[in-house]
A and B are shown apart, each in its own frame.
Chain A
């Protein structure tokens, strides 16, 4: 929270994040971290766990905003609290030491966090499968696809990087790789489901 930074209202935050405004994201992140950190520490968590849970929570929020599918019926703060609370509850039950008991009050607000989290979990699974598929596809497909889809490099750049004679060759290679990725991805995804 440096000096001279603009402070946003909740609506402005949402609008700014939709515009891909990184400063707004950073400010939002800083604004609510102490609350979640305090909460996790109060409920037998560590600083690192607080960070993980909070980042996951912010990610859920961020992706909803970017999707445009966020229907915020409460403050961002409450939403984040509800999401992080759920996430932490899940982790605690995994640890099983406290049987998932939390020393707090359930916010009786319709935050929509529950449903959002289920969607997010489904998405996590999907993305996890994608990561595995990418791991197994092998070079040079992996670098090529990562370069194009993850790092947003242009075909020309990639052509130069991988030493293809022209962009069409690179493109053809990319499509072959995509087909392989598709097979790996769907095989694994179906296995998991």
Chain B
């Protein structure tokens, strides 16, 4: 009986071709007849085959390591300054050959670290950066949108000066489209940027209007109902109560004449019937209603709330009661409430005028104390009033 090692010796000889003819054929016959023996041969071959392959693999790995080490060494040599010239030459040669030179990495230790960091965290950093950029722009855009949304009405409060330019422009465009005439451009009268309403304070050329009408104005023009124009200048403004006092500076101005209305110093009662005149359009417009509250927007006690439908351009208009007393100056309205307009109380105007008078700024104010409107009908009152209400045009 043979041991397995003996069989292996036999197989080894068989595989290396060391078996003579007769022995060989005997073995082959046995292999064909005995599957156990065939399996042994197979195992033997697998083990020796794997061993050889393993040997080759190790040899190859050594070879590749050697090649790589060679390459690294060469690169190290290249990096020394002495070898630079040679390297340059070789580069030229490579270019001449049409081959791209191998990229050489000459980087410091810190840069190496930075690069490693960058490679490791590139994706994260890019995401972070884009999120940051997105956040910045969303914030900016959001703020901008918020601001534009707030612009026309601060907390729902709208001041009522009229943007003349916008209206005029659309009107002009419409006219041009309608006429379609090639008329040479005639000298245009600058219509002003904004307009509001103002009314006479004294007979000698002082006027009252709302502060926001003349806000940011370069020059002011007062236009009466009969198209007379005067240049005016602001004398005093009260931002908190939205008041402005103007003075007409034209030499040609002769005075308004005696004012038909008087100024009320006290408070008016709730439910009092009130009316206003103003220039929300090119013509004088009358509107009436009642005094609905003795405080203004968000409880501001400097203002009345009135139920008069007012429009841009009404700002600065006089608010009068039934007896022809001036009780307020139209200032603004609340957007989200039905017909809630606000007017500065006349008592604040009086207090302002008084303080100016005692301070001795300019000429004393000769306030009218008599009232020619009491007891007359509305149309009569208005007929007398209309010459004392003006358009205030603002140029920026």
Contact = CB atoms under 8 A, between A and B. Distances in A.
A51 interface: yes
A182 B67 contact: no
B53 A127 contact: yes
Interface stretch (A24-32, A68-76, A104-112): A24-32
Contacts of B90: 3
A179 B8 CA distance: 8
A136 interface: no
Contacts of A62: 60
> For the complex, would chain B's binding face be called helix, strand, loop or mixed by DSSP majority?
helix
A30 B67 contact: yes
Contacts of B56: 63, 66
B47 interface: yes
Interface in B55-76: 55-61, 63-65, 67-68, 70-71, 74
Interface stretch (B115-123, B185-193, B284-292, B331-339): B115-123
A175 interface: yes
Interface stretch (A41-49, A82-90, A157-165): A41-49
Contacts of A134: 54
B54 A181 contact: no
Contacts of A185: 47, 50
Interface residues on B, range: 35 or more
Contact of B63 (A25, A33, A34, A171): A25
B67 A145 contact: no
B4 A151 contact: no
B102 interface: yes
Given A30-B67, A44-B120, A45-B119, A179 B4 contact: yes
B5 A172 contact: yes
B264 to A, nearest CB: 80
B67 A26 contact: yes
Given A55-B61, A59-B61, A182 B52 contact: no
A178 B58 contact: no
Nearest to B52: A149
A175 B5 contact: yes
B12 A150 contact: no
Contacts, number: 96
B374 to A, nearest CB: 89
B43 interface: yes
Given A26-B67, A175-B9, A182-B44, A149 B119 contact: no
Given A44-B120, A127-B54, A149-B48, A186 B67 contact: no
A22 interface: yes
Contacts of B59: 150
Contact of B68 (A3, A29, A42, A145): A29
Contacts of A171: 9
B44 A178 contact: yes
A57 to B, nearest CB: 10
B51 interface: yes
B9 A172 contact: yes
A25 B5 contact: no
A175 B70 contact: no
A182 B51 CA distance: 10
Interface in A150-193: 150-152, 171-172, 175-176, 178-179, 181-182, 185-186
B5 A130 contact: no
5 contacts: A38-B103, A63-B56, A171-B9, A175-B8, A182-B43
Given A26-B67, A126-B50, 7 more contacts: A3-B90, A34-B103, A44-B122, A98-B123, A172-B9, A175-B12, A176-B5
